[in-house]
Amino acid sequence: MTFPGDEAVPITEPDGDVGGDPVCWLDRVCPDCGLFLTDRTASTCPRCGAARDR
């Protein structure tokens, strides 16, 4: 990931977006059955069919 002439790009929180934060995936877990929804665009849970608010 080295780009010549691009060294002026500021590096902000290199590890701030690499998992570990429950809040990041909390909205991907079904509130009813707890299934982790990989497809976050799904409006309903593929396992129990519960509607998702967000």
Q: How far is the CB of 20 from Zn ion (least distance, A)?
A: 24
Rounded distance between C-alpha atoms, residue 52 and residue 33, angstroms:
12
Residues in Cβ contact with 44 at an 8 Å cutoff, skipping those fewer than 6 apart = 50, 51, 52
Rounded distance between C-alpha atoms, residue 21 and residue 6, angstroms:
30
Q: How far is the CB of 18 from Zn ion (least distance, A)?
A: 27
Nearest CB to Zn ion, comparing residues 9 and 51: 51
Report 34-53 residues binding Zn ion (CB under 5 A): 35, 45, 47-48, 50
Q: Which residues bind Zn ion (CB under 5 A)?
A: 30, 32-33, 35, 45, 47-48, 50
